[in-house]
């Protein structure tokens, strides 16, 4: 029986209406291996894993666990079959402790106390075994993202999962945290556990997986041994054509100072100081990248500049002071002043998902004369403009009447980008430009950002992807704990130095 | 992806909900030993079998259109205004004050001022909860419902101490004749169409239709409507787009309260022709069910309002025709309709969604 695959999928198909999300997918994952699944957004990775975890029912095909046919109608059945899942967006109760979260749904009996006591012992063992130290009594909301993820893994292990599925696990981690996660995964593998890793990061696939499957348009196009492939090769298999992994750009020609920030401070509603005196300049024709682990004040910086959050300090745009609180400091005033904003979280801020694409084109610009006639919206002008923008930004499907939520992540981002870039800003704020965006679209988005820079605009880029910061920025500022730890030129630094700065340590002397 | 085709969402679900409500009502009627089929006959006939029936049905519907639109507009900004009852009562006061202030020579001169008075008072009553919500974060459901009680107490005070006409009843003096709105009998009579002389349906119905159209334009065609819908879908996104939450909450609630206040034009000016204590009679709450059933769309609100109007009128007939069916029993039937069309909507929706998804899958395969 040891030769039976831990997971075998036979001709799995799943359609949503006319969309064939998974088509005839067969896959074998051997026990004790790490298997990567890569593919662009909308390639069907998540659907496939949801079928495996019992969230969706396949239209046809069968699932075999350890060589035995195992129907998985719901997630309870998946857990029983020894499958555990760590979602991209954690499913934890924020104000419960680690221990409570781990036993949630696996309580035995009407009283919690015996379960908790047992779980505490078990949890300590697991934590020791796999180097996953977390305080069982800490509240989830007090934990770092990396620790929260460990809780998710512990939750699966507590339920005796032998097969662990991780969906884009490193999206929210620092390089160091990601390394630690990989050590944990290797430890699990050594214990004979099987791991399925869904990611779009080629580097991770190369670093940790034994075998890798490529998905494209609902089909599993290739399964290869990781040792036999290269990032370039995988990228081409994913997209189905040649892609540029590096950003093609000429040296910057910085002009006059566009944005000047002095002593910027922000205190949040809980009284915690999020920005502790930021000084920063961005000149015309340059891209300044802010590197840092999520949650170190980058979002607050973007929010203040974008007019979403009040602050104290001084900001000038083209020499004109901007007000930082009260009337005249809102997003409308910022747009009028010439700052446009591609927000980090396009679902929460940048788009109204239920609105149609053309309605989203006017979002934030609803009072521009070209979009309205008196008190009325000029819906026809909006539709026509959206149609043209969709053409220029290659948004697919090219249909202004489709709701924003019906587009893939990359195309949603293009809708936001088209709106904010074509508003002709002096300063473009752009947060996580390629989060959840497929490789083909990343290339396109990066090119547009560089084009805007070459047109003499100032760009402030915030990203947690170091690769992106390194390849796109003309100057890099690293943020840690609400401060700027230092500025570097991309040519004169490397990931190790930036990583140290991101962790709050002074970089080595250059 | 849409789970249900639009026609199923808009037509099929309400029809099934209604059928279920009538089925359960039928069982209740059967239980007290009456014939449900006969009862249904009496209701339908009473509500829609004569011009008199229609005259009452559409009169009630007019009230429900105003209160239903009030709930619907607020809903688009994700505000649950359940203060329609109080806002309509204050709207009635506004209408009454306009009617009593001047010895109006013609109804068509009085009507626009009454509309303004009703809307203004309704809006003012919604303004305080709106301000508390916008500035202090007080929950709009709690504050609007509490303002219903305050409104009710205020009306008692005013009608007992200030506005009371000589006599026993706590009501104002009758409005001058120049404020009497033409009824359907008067209007249709001009075209030679016969209509019941005593039915209360009046030109306020046309004001309600205009309000439906106005709300449609507001929500789907104006910049304000765009901002209201954006705010309703996501407050953080609205802030990102430079839309002020305080402004949207205030403006939306003022419009919502104003619409509820307009009910006074129909109930106070059109029918009672004096201000009484019970001018609203629960229409503010029925408006919630109407908006829910009408999917917060003016056309839906109109249709749902007519249905509830028919239910009210049919209920009164039923009570009259079949003595065994008491006033309370009518309330039970009305409550069942509200329950099935509103609160238990998901009971029908979820299985139906599954059905459609599986049908589509078969169709695709």
Q: Distance between CA atoms of B70 and B262, rounded to whole angstroms?
A: 10
Which tokens belong to B51?
Answer: 């011009």
Band of residue A165 on the pLDDT scale cut at 50, 70, 90:
very high
Check whether B177 has a pLDDT greater than 70.
yes
User: Within a domain: residue B322?
Assistant: no
Confidence of residue B1 (pLDDT cuts 50, 70, 90): very low
Residue B232 lies in a domain: yes
Answer yes or no: are the C-beta atoms of B31 and B298 closer than 8 Å.
no
- Whether residue A339 is predicted with pLDDT greater than 80 in this model: the reply is yes
A320 within a domain of the structure (yes/no)? yes
Task: Give the confidence band of A243 by pLDDT, cuts at 50, 70, 90.
Answer: low
DSSP secondary structure, B238-292, as one string: HHHTT--HHHHHHHHHHHHHHHHHTHHIIIIIIIISS--TTSSTTHHHHHHHHHH
Same domain, A183 and A268: no
For the segment A42-93, what is each residue's pLDDT rounded down to a tens digit?
Answer: 678 888 988 999 888 888 999 999 989 998 988 889 999 999 999 877 888 9
Residue A251 lies in a domain: no
Whether residue B354 lies within 8 A of chain A, CB to CB, comes out as no
Whether B82 is covered by a domain: the verdict is: yes
Identify the domain boundary among A196, A212, A239: A239
Closest residue on chain A to B232 (Cα): A352
Query: Are residue A210 and residue A289 in the same domain, yes or no?
Result: no
State residue A1's pLDDT score: 44
Classify residue B364: in a domain, yes or no. no
What residues make up the domain containing A460?
A: 257-502
Question: What angle is formed at CA B30 by the lines to CA B26 and CA B33, rounded to 5 degrees?
Answer: 145
Under an 8 A CB cutoff, do B237 and A359 touch?
no
Query: To the nearest whole angstrom, how far is the Cα of B129 from the nearest Cα of chain A?
Result: 23
Is residue A228 located within the same domain as residue A262?
no
Q: What is the dihedral of CA B4, B8, B13, B18, to 10 degrees?
A: 180
pLDDT tier for residue A245 given thresholds of 50, 70 and 90: low
Predicted confidence band of residue A509 (pLDDT cuts 50, 70, 90): very low
Measured over all CA atoms, what is the biggest interatomic distance in chain B, rounded to whole angstroms?
77
Q: Is position B334 within any domain?
A: no
B247 in reach of chain A (CB within 8 A): no
User: pLDDT grade, residue A142 (50/70/90)?
Assistant: confident
With beta carbons less than 8 A apart as the criterion, state whether B279 and B89 touch: yes
In this complex, is the C-beta atom of B242 within 8 Å of any C-beta atom belonging to chain A?
yes
- Final residue belonging to a domain, choices A239, A272, A301: A239
For B223, the closest of A332, A352, A377 (CB atoms) is: A377
Chain A residues with CB within 8 Å of chain B CB:
15-19, 59, 306-308, 330-335, 341, 343, 348-355, 359, 362-364, 366-367, 372, 375-377, 379, 406
Query: Would you call B80 an interface residue with chain A, using a CB distance cutoff of 8 Å?
Result: no
User: b/e map of A306-327 (b: 16 or more CB within 10 Å)?
Assistant: bbbbebebebebeeeebebeee
Mean pLDDT of all residues in chain A? 89
Q: A264 phi and psi, to 5 degrees?
A: -75, 125
Distance, in angstroms, between B113 CA and closest chain A CA? 24
Query: A304 to chain B, minimum CA–CA distance in Å?
Result: 11
A509 occurs within a structural domain: no
Q: Do B237 and A333 touch (CB under 8 A)?
A: no
Nearest CB to A17; choose among B1, B226, B234: B1
Q: What is the mean pLDDT of residues B78-104?
A: 96
Residue A453 lies in a domain: yes
Q: What is the domain-level CATH number for residue A191?
A: 3.40.50.300
* In-domain check, residue A2: no
- Which among A308, A348, A375 is the nearest to B222, CB-wise? A375
In the structure, what pLDDT confidence band is assigned to residue B365 with cuts at 50, 70 and 90?
low
- In total, chain B counts a number of residues equal to 365
Residue B342 forms part of a structural domain: no
Q: Encode pLDDT of A458-469 as tens digits.
A: 999 999 888 889
Residue A397: is the preceding peptide bond cis (ω within 30°)?
yes
CB contact under 8 A, A306 and B240: yes
Task: Based on the fold, state whether residues A349 and A380 are members of the same structural domain.
Answer: yes
Indicate whether B246 belongs to any domain.
yes
Tokens 């580097």 identify what position? Answer: A203
**Between these two residues, A271 and B66, which has the higher pLDDT value?**
B66
For residue B238, the Cα-to-chain-centroid distance in whole angstroms is 29
Tokens representing residue B178 in the block? 């120049």
Distances (CA, A) of B296 to B130, B139, B205, B292, B321: 20, 21, 19, 6, 35
Same-domain status, A98 and A214: yes
Paired strand residues for A459: A287, A428
Range of the domain at B129: 62-305
CB within 8 Å: B223 and A376: yes
Q: In this structure, are residues B92 and B275 in contact, taking their beta carbons and an 8 Å threshold? A: yes
For residues A183 and A327, state if they share a domain: no
B12 secondary structure, DSSP code: I
Burial class (CB in 10 A: 0-12, 13-18, 19+), A502: buried
Q: Which of A239, A410, A435, A261 is nearest to A339 (CA)?
A: A261
Q: Which of A239, A267, A289 is the last residue of a domain?
A: A239
pLDDT exceeds 50 at position B315: yes
Quick one: pLDDT band at residue A2, thresholds 50, 70, 90?
Answer: low
pLDDT of residue B293: 85
Residue A393 and residue A297 share a domain: yes
Side-chain half-sphere exposure of B77, counting CA atoms within 13 A: 31
**Is B33 a domain residue?**
no
Task: Specify if A53 maps to a domain.
Answer: yes
How many other CB atoms are found less than 10 A from the CB of residue A143?
A: 18
How many structural domains is chain B composed of?
1
Contact criterion met (CB below 8 Å) for A84 and A165: yes
A338 and A462 share a domain?
yes
**Pairwise CA distance, residues A305 & A230, whole Å:** 41
The kind and range of the H/E element at B116 are helix B107-136
Chain B residues inside the 8 Å CB shell of A17:
1, 360-361, 364
Whole-angstrom Cα distance, residue B325 to residue A143? 63
Nearest CA in chain A to B358: A17
Cα gap A410→A137, rounded to integer Å: 39
Please report the pLDDT score of residue A460 as a whole number: 97
- The answer to whether B1 contacts chain A (CB < 8 Å) is yes
Give the residue, B270 or B14, on which the prediction is more confident: B270
Position A441 scores a pLDDT of 85
User: What confidence category does residue A211 fall into, taking pLDDT thresholds of 50, 70 and 90?
Assistant: very high
Size of interface A-B (CB pairs under 8 A): 80
Closest Cα of chain B to A361: distance in Å?
11
CB atoms B240 and A341 under 8 Å: yes
Selecting from A59, A307, A366 the residue whose C-beta is nearest the C-beta of B226 gives: A366
Establish if B135 touches chain A: CB-CB under 8 angstroms: no
Q: How far apart are CA A214 and CA A38, in angstroms?
A: 5
Residue A401 confidence (pLDDT): 94
Element (H, E) at A462: strand A458-462
Q: In this predicted structure, what is the pLDDT of residue B204?
A: 97
Co-location of A102 and A190 in the same domain = yes
Residues A307 and A389 in one domain: yes
**Residues A382, A362: contact at Cβ < 8 Å?**
yes
On whether both A300 and A377 belong to a single domain, the answer is yes
Residues A18 and A66 in one domain: yes
Handedness of CA B274, B277, B278, B279 (dihedral sign): positive
How many domains is chain A partitioned into structurally? 2
Among A304, A331, A401, A402, pick the best mutation site for testing chain B contact (most B Cβ within 10 A). Answer: A331
- Whole-number Å distance between alpha carbons of A25 and A4: 18
As to burial, measured by CB atoms within 10 angstroms (0-12 exposed, 13-18 middle, 19+ buried), residue B277 is: middle
Query: Is residue B54 scored above 90 in pLDDT?
Result: yes
> Which H or E run contains A300?
helix A298-306
State the pLDDT at residue A508: 46
């Amino acid at each position: 029986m040891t030769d039976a695959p831990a997971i075998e999928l036979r001709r799995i198909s799943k359609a949503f209406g006319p969309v064939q999300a998974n088509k005839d997918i067969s896959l074998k994952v051997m026990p004790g291996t790490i298997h990567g699944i890569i593919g662009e957004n909308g390639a069907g990775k998540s659907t496939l894993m949801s079928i495996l975890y019992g969230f969706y029912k396949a239209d046809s095909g069968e699932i075999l666990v350890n060589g035995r046919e195992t129907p998985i109608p719901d997630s309870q059945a998946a857990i029983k079959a020894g499958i555990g899942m760590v979602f991209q967006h954690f499913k934890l109760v924020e104000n419960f402790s680690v221990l409570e979260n781990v036993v949630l749904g696996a309580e035995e009996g009407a009283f919690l106390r015996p379960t908790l006591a047992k779980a505490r012992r078990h949890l300590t063992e697991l934590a020791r075994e796999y180097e996953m130290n977390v305080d069982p009594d800490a509240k989830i909301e007090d934990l770092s993202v990396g620790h929260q993820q460990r809780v998710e893994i512990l939750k699966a292990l507590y339920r005796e999962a032998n097969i662990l599925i991780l969906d884009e696990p490193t999206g929210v981690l620092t390089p160091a945290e990601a390394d630690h996660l990989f050590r944990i995964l290797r430890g699990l593998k050594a214990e004979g556990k099987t791991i399925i890793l869904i990611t779009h990061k080629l580097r991770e696939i190369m670093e940790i997986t034994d075998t890798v499957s490529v998905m494209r348009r609902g089909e599993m196009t290739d399964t290869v041994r990781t040792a036999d492939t290269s990032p370039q090769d995988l990228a081409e298999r994913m997209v189905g054509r040649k892609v540029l992994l590096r950003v093609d750009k000429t040296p910057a020609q910085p002009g006059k100072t566009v944005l000047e920030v002095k002593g910027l401070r922000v205190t949040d509603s809980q009284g915690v100081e999020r920005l502790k005196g930021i000084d920063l300049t961005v000149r015309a024709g340059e891209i300044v990248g802010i590197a840092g682990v999520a949650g170190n004040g980058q979002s607050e910086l973007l929010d203040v500049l974008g007019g979403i959050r009040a602050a104290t300090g001084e900001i000038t745009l083209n020499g004109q002071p901007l007000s930082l609180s009260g009337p005249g400091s809102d997003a409308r005033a910022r747009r009028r002043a010439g700052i446009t904003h591609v927000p980090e979280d396009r679902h929460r801020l940048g788009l109204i998902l239920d609105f149609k694409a053309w309605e989203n084109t006017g979002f934030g610009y609803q009072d521009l004369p070209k979009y309205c006639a008196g008190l009325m919206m000029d819906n026809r002008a909006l539709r026509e403009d959206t149609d043209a923008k969709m053409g220029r930004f290659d948004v697919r499907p090219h249909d202004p009447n489709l709701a924003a939520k019906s587009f893939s992540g990359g195309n949603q981002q293009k809708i936001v980008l088209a709106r904010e870039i074509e508003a002709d800003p002096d300063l473009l704020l752009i947060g996580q430009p390629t989060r959840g965006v497929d490789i083909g679209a990343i290339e396109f988005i990066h090119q547009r950002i560089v084009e805007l820079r070459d047109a003499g605009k100032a760009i402030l880029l915030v990203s947690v992807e170091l690769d992106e910061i390194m390849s796109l920025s003309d100057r890099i500022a690293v943020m840690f704990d609400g401060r700027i730890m230092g500025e570097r030129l991309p040519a004169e630094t490397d990931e190790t130095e930036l990583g140290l700065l991101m962790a709050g340590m002074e970089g080595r002397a250059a | 992806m849409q789970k249900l085709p639009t026609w199923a969402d808009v037509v099929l679900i309400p029809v099934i909900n209604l059928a279920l409500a009538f089925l359960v009502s039928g069982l209740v009627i059967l239980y007290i030993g009456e014939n449900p089929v006969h009862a249904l006959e009496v209701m339908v006939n009473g509500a829609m079998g004569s011009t008199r029936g229609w005259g009452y049905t559409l009169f009630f519907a007019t009230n429900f259109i105003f209160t239903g639109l009030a709930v619907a507009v607020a809903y688009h900004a994700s505000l649950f205004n359940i203060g329609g009852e109080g806002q309509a009562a204050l709207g009635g006061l506004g209408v009454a004050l306009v009617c009593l202030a001047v010895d109006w020579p013609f109804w068509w001169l009085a009507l626009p001022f009454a509309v303004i008075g009703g809307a203004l008072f309704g809006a003012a009553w919604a303004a305080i909860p709106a301000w508390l919500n916008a500035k202090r974060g007080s929950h709009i459901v709690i504050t609007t419902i509490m303002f219903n009680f305050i409104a009710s107490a205020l009306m008692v005070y005013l009608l007992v101490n200030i506005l009371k006409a000589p006599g026993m009843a706590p009501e104002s003096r009758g409005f001058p004749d120049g404020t009497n709105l033409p009824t359907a009998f008067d209007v249709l009579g001009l075209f030679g169409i016969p209509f019941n002389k005593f039915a209360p349906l009046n030109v306020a119905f046309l004001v309600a239709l205009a309000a439906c159209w106005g709300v449609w334009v507001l929500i789907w065609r104006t910049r304000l409507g765009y901002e209201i819908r954006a705010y309703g879908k996501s407050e953080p996104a609205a802030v990102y787009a430079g839309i002020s939450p305080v402004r949207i909450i205030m403006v939306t609630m003022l419009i919502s309260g104003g619409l509820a206040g307009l009910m006074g034009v129909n109930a106070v000016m059109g029918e009672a022709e004096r201000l009484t204590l019970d001018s609203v009679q629960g229409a503010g709450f029925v408006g919630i069910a109407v908006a829910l059933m009408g999917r917060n769309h003016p056309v839906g609100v109109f249709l749902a309002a007519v249905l509830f109007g028919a239910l009210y009128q049919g209920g009164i007939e039923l009570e009259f025709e079949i003595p065994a069916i008491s006033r309370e029993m009518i309330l039970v039937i009305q409550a069942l309709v509200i329950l099935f069309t509103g609160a238990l909507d998901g009971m029908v929706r979820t299985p139906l969604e599954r059905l459609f998804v599986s049908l589509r899958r078969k169709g695709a395969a």
